[in-house]
């Protein structure tokens, strides 16, 4: 019997993954499994560019708006939950077409499903708490500087606004005396399906223009009001939870605090999103399993080419 196929769609933010995944799943009559670490949170649909309610009615989406803003959810938990789900979807799928579409957003989440997470050494809780105390005393810029110095390779690709990942890098590096990046990708997990990984790309200037337009649309769609509501809801407006420590919300928080004007905050959202897209491409280019396609192709042509790749 032919092995079941999972199609994973990757690419930088703003390149058009969500719309393509929806069309692929519609054609193949299968579900979309989200692997964006921010779209799992409720109450952030605008800033995370999450699939709309109408789109989720057309096609079943998993791991979208499933967690509260104060909940902590990591890549290890996602690997466990997503692989268990995919095993069920594969077992119940009877068509020759792919049994699910994996919609890429967070590179680490996609790697967790496609490759499996690495065997990272256990870190004493006391060391983790020590770093958290240092972060509380010295601030995010201190943490970022520490990680940049301790592990330049990981610094090039990590989400620099995500304290959870920065703390993890620093604690492993301090505990072992070896950069965190040296422990990554040492094993390839075996999965009971074959994975076809498609990367979407377009010229940098066009991608950056797409990003700028998308930020403008987010602001027009109510990102500022969404950020205010989320900040008030999460921790009662106190310490910013990890769910909001990401591009779009970080910058608006500084506007709310009077550190920037709204125009400055929006400009920084655009700049930081472009920087994030650049780091995503650095990560993705290192993945030799990705089959790259031009995101500017007409959708039907893109889908036809992806179908052709699944048959090879």
- Domains of the chain in start order, with CATH, are 5-118+185-311 (3.40.50.300), 125-183 (1.10.20.140)
Confidence of residue 5 (pLDDT cuts 50, 70, 90): very high
Q: How many CA atoms lie within 13 A of 278 on its CB side?
A: 12
Radius of gyration of the chain (CA): 19
Mean predicted confidence (pLDDT) in 236-261: 85
- Reading the block at residue 182, the tokens are 């040296």
Confidence of residue 186 (pLDDT cuts 50, 70, 90): low
Tell me the pLDDT tens digit for each residue of 118-161.
Answer: 777 788 888 888 998 999 899 999 999 999 999 998 898 888 88
Tell me the pLDDT tens digit for each residue of 87-97.
Answer: 999 999 988 89
CB 108 within 8 Å of CB 138? no
Distance CA 54, CA 270 (A): 27
Q: Which of 262, 162, 258, 254 is nearest to 219 (CA)?
A: 262
Provide CB contacts within 8 A for 179, sequence distance 6+. 150, 151, 153, 154, 173
Task: Judge whether residue 238 has pLDDT over 60.
Answer: no
- Burial category of 231 from C-beta neighbours within 10 Å (exposed 0-12, middle 13-18, buried 19 and up): buried
CB 36 within 8 Å of CB 128? no
Task: Judge whether residue 234 has pLDDT over 80.
Answer: no
- Count the residues in the chain: 312
Distance CA 274, CA 280 (A): 10
Task: Judge whether residue 269 has pLDDT over 50.
Answer: yes
Q: What is the pLDDT of residue 68?
A: 92
Q: What is the pLDDT of residue 271?
A: 97
Q: Which of 312, 232, 219, 305 is nearest to 263 (CA)?
A: 219
Coil, helix or strand at residue 88: helix
Least confident of 119-128, 183-192, 287-296: 183-192
Tell me the pLDDT tens digit for each residue of 207-221.
Answer: 999 999 999 999 999
Over the chain, what is the mean pLDDT? 91
Provide CB contacts within 8 A for 194, sequence distance 6+. 3, 4, 5, 6
CB 60 within 8 Å of CB 46? no
Tell me the pLDDT tens digit for each residue of 67-105.
Answer: 999 888 888 899 999 999 999 999 999 888 999 999 988
Task: Judge whether residue 1 has pLDDT over 50.
Answer: no
| 285-298: b (≥16 Cβ within 10 Å) or e | eebeebeebebeee
Spatial strand order in the sheet of 194-201? 61-62, 31-35, 100-104, 5-10, 194-201, 290-294
Confidence of residue 292 (pLDDT cuts 50, 70, 90): very high
Mean predicted confidence (pLDDT) in 230-249: 77
* CA triple 293-189-311, angle to 5 deg: 40
Task: Judge whether residue 299 has pLDDT over 80.
Answer: yes
Q: What is the pLDDT of residue 245?
A: 84
Question: pLDDT above 90 covers what percent of the chain?
Answer: 68
Mean predicted confidence (pLDDT) in 194-217: 97
Task: Judge whether residue 242 has pLDDT over 70.
Answer: yes
């Amino acid at each position: 019997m032919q092995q079941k196929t999972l199609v994973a769609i990757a690419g930088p933010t703003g390149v058009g993954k969500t719309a393509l995944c929806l069309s692929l799943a519609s054609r193949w009559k299968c579900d979309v499994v989200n692997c964006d670490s921010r779209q799992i949170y409720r109450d952030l649909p605008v800033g995370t560019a999450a699939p709309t309610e109408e789109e989720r009615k057309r096609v079943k989406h998993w791991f979208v708006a499933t967690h509260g803003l104060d909940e902590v959810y990591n890549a290890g938990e996602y690997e466990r939950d997503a692989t268990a789900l995919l095993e069920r979807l594969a077992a119940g799928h009877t068509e020759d077409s792919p049994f699910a579409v994996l919609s890429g957003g967070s590179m680490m989440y996609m790697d967790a499903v496609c490759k499996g997470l690495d065997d990272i050494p256990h870190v004493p809780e006391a060391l983790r708490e020590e770093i958290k105390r240092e972060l509380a005393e010295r601030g995010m810029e201190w943490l970022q500087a520490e990680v940049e110095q301790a592990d330049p390779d990981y610094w090039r690709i990590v989400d620099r606004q995500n304290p959870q990942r920065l703390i993890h890098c620093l604690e492993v590096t301090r505990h072992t005396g070896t950069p965190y990046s040296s422990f990554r990708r040492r094993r390839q997990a075996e999965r009971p399906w074959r994975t076809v990984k498609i990367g979407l790309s377009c010229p940098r200037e066009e991608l950056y223009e797409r990003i700028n337009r998308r930020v403008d649309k987010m602001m027009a769609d109510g990102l500022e009001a969404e950020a205010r509501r989320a900040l008030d809801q999460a921790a009662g407006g106190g310490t910013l939870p990890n769910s909001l420590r990401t591009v779009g919300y970080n910058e608006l928080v500084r506007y709310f605090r009077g550190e920037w004007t709204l125009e400055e905050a929006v400009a920084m959202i655009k700049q930081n999103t472009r920087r994030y897209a650049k780091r995503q491409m650095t990560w993705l280019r290192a993945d030799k399993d990705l089959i790259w396609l031009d995101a500017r192709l007409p959708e039907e042509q893109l889908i036809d080419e992806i179908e052709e790749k699944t048959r090879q």
